[in-house]
């Protein structure tokens, strides 16, 4: 298969295969993928109690400080919001992991999903306007505050001039970014893409909004046990920050250069509930349709899937609706877990980070557990402790406010 021919367009009959050749991560567990996988399989939690101005204590999963000098320049970092720094650093790690690819920038794109954009930049602009006046507001407040600021920074720092996108489908954004990238390569519009999500929204105004919605977990059981996906005692999610980025590449090119292949991405499904602005459809119809579409594109039956990394955020309504959707899609007997009990809910970054979490089942032949699961109130085969398994297919789901539904199917590489 020719690579680098910018004018080439492939018909549906000539759909190309897409593989994952690089992984990059910024998380509350640190920035090493192997360390992240170790933490997941051990069932550890990264949550701590956090106190922000004007708010009661809340549990969060925050990214520890790390040096930038060996990843991106200080000059680049100063021209980014925190979310852009996370995205650029995760992308640098993913590209380094993928190795020498020889693909020109015009054929290498970027898709980074995000929900809140440059939240810290917006928060600071509001504070400056109130306290110091218009003349002291940064002229970069708008470009760094936009939802596309992360992907724009990634493209600029890494010279990626191919297709670009910044899905803003709330907590499905990272999954949709991976789906977008998959389709661009599959259909010949790019030869490789970095794709995933980034979020850095642990700021007072955003947390206050989620508190008013009743979506944030209480500290009744302590921060480490606050996020309880599928547990009957769950009472909200634990807000997290970070970034997860995959390098997706046309398979023939990856094989020709001897790249390590983590998995093949074989299916992507997308739908919308078109209902309530925050609550999911309790019939599970929308998510089930997204799952069915992903399975159909992969050409497999639901029973063929060996593991599902569920979106389940630890909210009472959301987890129940997702369980209904998975059962409706034929996945009731498939092992399921949500890793948010450990790394928290990274909102627009969830799809990228949890795609990486999903791939642990191929890399380690183990399924990560549902942490803090004591008594479940859903009917699924939930993974309570790390389980040995070597599935051929695994799925990652992503659902967001506004009824956005996404599902990805990976096949062992």
Residues 128 and 169 both lie in one domain: yes
Q: pLDDT of 57-72, one tens digit each?
A: 999 999 999 988 778 8
β partners of residue 26:
243
> 234 and 354 share a domain?
no
User: Residues 6 or more apart from 126 whose CB is under 8 A from it?
Assistant: 205
Task: Give the distance between the most distant pair of CA atoms in the chain.
Answer: 61
Q: Give the number of other Cβ atoms within 10 Å of residue 117's Cβ.
A: 25
Residue 363: band (very low, low, confident or very high) from pLDDT cuts 50, 70, 90: very high
pLDDT above 70: residue 290: yes
Domain boundary among 196, 231, 256: 256
Q: Which domain-ending residue is among 213, 237, 256?
A: 256
pLDDT at 1 over 70: no
Whether the CB-CB separation of 404 and 172 falls below 8 Å is answered with yes
State whether 107 and 232 are in the same domain: yes
Q: What is the pLDDT of residue 278?
A: 66
- The average pLDDT across 195-206 equals 98
Task: Based on the fold, state whether residues 90 and 236 are members of the same structural domain.
Answer: yes
**Residue pLDDT, tens place only, 207-230:** 999 999 999 999 999 999 999 999
- pLDDT for 3 equals 43
Residue 11 resides in a domain: no
pTM: 0.94
The arithmetic mean of pLDDT across residues 13-32, rounded, is 93
pLDDT, tens only, 72-116: 888 888 889 999 999 999 999 999 999 999 999 999 999 999 999
Same domain, yes or no: 35 and 152: yes
Residue 8 domain flag: no
Output 213-219 pairs: Cβ under 8 A, ≥24 positions apart.
Answer: 213/278, 215/278, 215/315, 216/58, 216/59, 217/58, 217/59, 217/314, 219/49, 219/57, 219/58, 219/59
Instruction: List the structure tokens of 67.
Output: 């040096």
**223 in the same domain as 279:** no
Task: For residue 372, tell me if it sits in a domain.
Answer: yes
171 a catalytic residue = yes
Could you give the percent of the chain with pLDDT greater than 70?
96
Question: 13 φ, ψ to 5°?
Answer: -70, -15
Catalytic residue among 101, 311, 343, 404: 311
DSSP calls for 282-345: TT-HHHHHHHHHHHHHHT--GGG--EEE----S-HHHHHHHHHHHHHTT-TTSEEE-THHHH-B
> Do both 269 and 390 map to the same domain?
yes
138 within some domain:
yes
* Domain-located, residue 12: no
CATH of the domain at 279: 3.40.47.10
Residue 238: half-sphere exposure toward Cβ, Cα within 13 Å: 32
**Residues 246 and 379 placed together within one structural domain of the fold:** no
Residues with Cβ within 8 Å of 318's Cβ and at least 6 positions away in sequence, in order, are: 280, 311, 312, 399
pLDDT at 144: 94
- Which residue, of 239, 256, 273, is where some domain finishes? 256
Mean pLDDT of 263-291: 88
Q: Dump pLDDT digits (tens) for 305-325.
A: 999 999 999 999 999 999 999
- Check: CB of residue 262 under 8 Å from CB of residue 178: no
Q: pLDDT tens for residues 106-163?
A: 999 999 999 999 999 999 999 999 999 999 999 999 999 999 999 999 999 999 999 9
What are the phi and psi torsion angles at 386 (to 5°)? Answer: -50, 135
Within a domain: 25? yes
User: Residue 236: inside a domain, yes or no?
Assistant: yes
For the cut 70, the answer to whether the pLDDT of residue 11 exceeds it is: no
**Counting every residue, how long is the chain?**
413
Helices 82-98/119-132 angle, 10° precision? 160
Please give the pLDDT value at position 260: 97
Determine the Cα–Cα distance for residues 2 and 144; give it in Å rounded to an integer.
37
Known active-site residue 345: yes
Question: Which of the residues 61, 114, 171, 361 is marked catalytic?
Answer: 171
Rounded-to-integer distance, Cα 269 and Cα 409, Å? 9
Whether pLDDT at 339 is above 70: yes
DSSP label at residue 406: E
The DSSP call for residue 281 is P
C-alpha distances (whole Å) from 97 to each of 178, 306, 308 are 18, 26, 25
Q: Both 41 and 106 in a single domain?
A: yes
Give the list of residues 6+ apart from residue 229 with CB closer than 8 angstroms, or none: 310, 312, 313, 314, 319, 337, 338, 340, 341, 370, 371, 372, 373
CA dist 168 and 401 (Å) reads 10
Catalytic residue list contains 370: no
Q: What is the pLDDT of residue 349?
A: 98
Distance CA 214, CA 207 (A): 11
| Residue 385, domain extent | 264-412
Counting the structural domains of the chain, the total is 2
SS3 label, residue 55: coil
| 287 and 404 both lie in a single domain | yes
Contact 219, 48 (CB under 8 A): no
Same domain, 301 and 364: yes
- Residue 7 domain-assigned (yes or no): no
- Please tell me the distance from the alpha carbon of residue 357 to that of residue 345, in angstroms, as a whole number: 13
3-state secondary structure of 261: coil
Give CA–CA dist 160/245, Å, rounded.
Answer: 14
| Catalytic-role residue among 101, 116, 253, 345 | 345
What confidence score (pLDDT) does residue 375 get? 97
User: In terms of domains, do 285 and 145 share one?
Assistant: no
Report pLDDT for 68.
86
Q: Which DSSP string corresponds to 124-170? A: HHHHHHHHH-GGGS-TTHHHHHSTTHHHHHHHHHHT--S-EE----G
Residue 71: per-residue pLDDT:
80
């Amino acid at each position: 298969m020719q690579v680098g021919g910018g004018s080439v367009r492939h018909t549906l009959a000539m759909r190309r295969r897409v593989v994952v050749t690089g992984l990059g991560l910024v998380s509350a567990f640190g920035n090493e993928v192997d360390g992240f996988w170790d933490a997941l399989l051990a069932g550890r939690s990264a949550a701590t109690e956090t106190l922000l101005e004007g708010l009661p204590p809340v549990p969060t999963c925050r990214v520890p400080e790390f040096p930038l000098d060996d990843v991106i320049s200080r000059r680049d970092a100063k021209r980014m919001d925190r979310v852009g720094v996370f995205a650029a650093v995760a992308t640098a790690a993913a590209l380094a992991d993928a190795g020498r690819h020889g693909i020109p920038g015009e054929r290498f794109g970027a898709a980074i999903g995000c929900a809140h954009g440059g939240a810290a930049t917006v928060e600071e602009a509001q504070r400056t306007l109130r306290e110091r006046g218009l003349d002291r507001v940064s002229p970069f407040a708008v470009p760094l505050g936009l939802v596309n600021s992360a992907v724009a920074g990634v493209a600029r720092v890494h010279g990626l001039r191919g297709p670009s996108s910044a899905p803003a489908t709330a907590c499905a954004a990272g999954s949709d970014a991976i789906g977008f990238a998959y389709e661009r390569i599959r259909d010949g519009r790019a030869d490789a893409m970095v794709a995933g999500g980034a979020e850095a929204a642990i700021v007072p105004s955003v947390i206050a909004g989620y508190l008013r919605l009743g979506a944030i977990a209480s500290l009744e059981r302590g921060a480490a046990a606050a996020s309880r996906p599928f547990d009957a005692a769950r009472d909200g999610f634990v807000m997290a920050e970070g970034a997860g980025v995959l390098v997706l590449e046309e398979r023939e090119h990856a094989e020709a250069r001897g790249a390590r292949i983590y998995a093949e991405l074989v299916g992507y499904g997308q739908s919308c509930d078109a209902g309530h602005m925050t609550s999911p459809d309790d019939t599970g119809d929308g998510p089930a349709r997204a799952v069915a579409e992903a399975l159909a594109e992969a050409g497999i039956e639901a029973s063929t899937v060996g593991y599902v990394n569920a979106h389940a955020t630890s909210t009472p309504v959301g987890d129940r609706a997702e369980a209904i959707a998975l059962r409706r899609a034929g996945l009731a007997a498939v092992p399921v877990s949500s890793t948010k009990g450990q790394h928290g809910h990274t909102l627009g970054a969830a799809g990228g980070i949890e795609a990486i979490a999903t791939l642990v089942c191929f890399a380690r032949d183990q399924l990560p557990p549902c942490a803090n699961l004591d008594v479940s109130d859903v009917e699924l085969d939930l993974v309570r402790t790390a389980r040995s398994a070597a599935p051929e297919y695994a799925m990652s789901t992503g659902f967001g406010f506004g009824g956005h539904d996404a599902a990805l199917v990976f096949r062992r590489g």
